Amino acid sequence: MKGRDDLRLLLVLLAVLAVVPAVASNLVINFLVTALIVALAAQGWNILGGIGGQISFGHAAFFGTGAYVTELLQLRLGWNAWATAPIGILAGALVGWAIGAMVFRARLRGSYFALVTLAFAEVMRILANALDFTGGASGLLLKLQPGAEAFQFTSRAVFAWIAIALVALVLLGTRHITRSRFGAQLVAVRENEDAARALGVDIVATKLRAITLSAAITAAAGVFYAQYFLYIDSQIGYGTWISVEALLASIIGGVGTVAGPVIGALALHGLGELTKGLAGQITGIDLVTFGLLLVAAIAFAPSGIVGAWRRYRGSRHRA
C-alpha cells in the first residue's frame, strides 16, 4: 500500500522536525508551533471534511470551545491546567456532537452544511464577544506561572515537542480509522449516501461519530493554543481564520489522506512566511496567496500535495 510509504515518510519528517527545536532560534520554533497547531486543527477537520466528505466552514466553533473552556476553568475556578485540558477537549467534542445531532438529523449536507456550521461558529463568536463571563471584547489572559506543573514551559522547545507528539498521535489514529470498519463506512457515506444506506450503514450515526471525533481533535488544537499563547479572544477563538486554515491545509495537503493536513499546514505556513519575506510586511498579502492557492489547488491538483507526490511516484515506478 502506498499509504504506508507516505506515513513512514511523514514519521521520518516529524522525527526531523523534532530535532529542530533543540537547535533552532525562538523565531523558528514559534513558526513551527503555530504551523503545528493549524496542522492539528486541520487533522480534525480532515476526519469529517476529508474522509467523511462533510465540508465544514465552522471548525472555529470547536477550536474556540477548547481554548475558552480550558482558560475559563483555570481563571474562574482555579483548576490546574493539566486537568482543564481534557475537559476542554471533551467540551469541544460535545459541541461537535450537539451541532451534528441537529444538523445531520435535518439532513443538511453539501453547501447547506458548510453554511450552517459557519453560522454556529459566528453565533459563538458574537456570544463570546458580548458576554462578561468570557471576558467580552478584551478576551481572557492566563496568568504567567512558568513550570511544568502548570502546563507552561520557559523553553518553547518543550511546547514544540508536545505539539509534534500530538500531531504524530493523531496521525496514527487517523491511519487506524482509515483502515477500520468505521473509516470504510465514512468513505461510503462520502461517496454515495443512498448506496451506503442501502448497504445498511447508519448514515446519521456514522456522521455523528465523525463530527464528534473531528471536533475533539480541533478542540485539542484550541487547548494547546491557549496554553502556548496564554491569551484568547472571540476573534482568535471563534473567528473564521482557523476554520479557513484548517480547511485550506487539508485541501492543499491532500483532502481525505492521512498525511495531507500536516503537510498542507507546514507548506501553507512556509509559503505564508515566504510571501511576507518577499513582499514585505503588507497586511493580508499572505492570505492573498492562500486564497489563490485554494483556487489553483481545486483547479489543477484536487488531490493536493500528497496526490501529486503519489502520481509522481507512480510514474517513476512505471518508468
Partner 1 sequence: MNYPPAIIAEAAVNGLLTGSVYALVALGLTLVYGVLHIINFAHGVLLTCAMFAVWGLVTFTGISPYAAILPLAAVFFGLGYLLQRYLIGPASHGDDGNILLITLGLSIAIENALLAAFHGDTRNIPGDFGFEVAPVGPMMISQPKMIAFAASLIVALLLWLLLARTDTGRAIRAVAKEKLGAGLMGVSVGHIFGITFGLGCACLAVAACLLIPSFYVNPRVGNAFVLVAFTIVVLGGMGSVPGALCGGLFIGMVESLGGLFLGDSLGQLGIFVIFILVLLFRPAGLFGARA
Pick between residue 83 and residue 115 the one whose CB is nearest to partner 1.
Answer: 115
Query: For the purposes of burial, counting CB atoms within 10 Å of the CB of 128, is it exposed (0-12), middle (13-18) or buried (19 or more)?
Result: buried
Count Cβ atoms below 10 Å from residue 231 Cβ, excluding itself. 15
The three-state secondary structure class of 232 is: strand
d(CA 307, CA 319): 18
* Location of C-alpha cell 503588507: 282
DSSP letter (8 states) at residue 135:
T
Structural contact between residues 31 and 269, judged by C-beta atoms closer than 8 angstroms: yes
Rounded to 10°, the helix 26-45/260-279 angle is: 140
Nearer CB in complex with partner 1: 177/251:
251
**Closest CB to partner 1 among 203 and 285?**
285
Please identify, using beta-carbon distances, which residue of 146 and 284 lies nearer to partner 1: 284
3-state secondary structure of 16: helix
Q: How far is the CB of 283 from partner 1 (least distance, A)?
A: 6
**Pick 89 or 116: Cβ nearer partner 1:** 116
Minimum separation from the CB atom of position 290 to partner 1 (A) = 6
Cell of 171: 496521525
Cα–Cα distance, 190 to 205 (Å, whole number) = 14
User: How many CB atoms are located within 10 Å of the residue 116 CB?
Assistant: 18
Query: What is the helix (H) or strand (E) element at residue 140, kind and residue range?
Result: strand 140-141
Shortest distance (Å) from residue 314 CB to partner 1: 21
Tell me the closest approach of the beta carbon of residue 267 to partner 1, in angstroms: 16
Least Cβ distance, residue 253 to partner 1 (angstroms) = 14
Least distance to partner 1 from the beta carbon of 279, Å?
A: 8
Cell triple for 285: 498579502
- The distance of closest approach from Cβ of residue 122 to partner 1 in the complex, given in angstroms and rounded to an integer, is 5
Identify which of residues 38 and 157 has a Cβ nearer to partner 1 in the complex: 38
Residues 234, 134 contacting (CB under 8 angstroms): yes
- Separation between Cα atoms, residue 285 and residue 273, nearest integer Å: 10
Closest by CA to 57, choosing from 260, 291, 246, is 246
CB of 63 or CB of 228, closer to partner 1: 63
Chain residues binding partner 1 by CB under 8 A are: 55, 57, 102-103, 106-108, 110-112, 114-116, 118-120, 122-123, 126-127, 129-130, 244, 247, 251, 282-285, 287-295, 298-299, 302
- Decide whether 92 or 239 has the Cβ nearer to partner 1: 239
Residue 133 CB, nearest approach to partner 1 (Å): 14
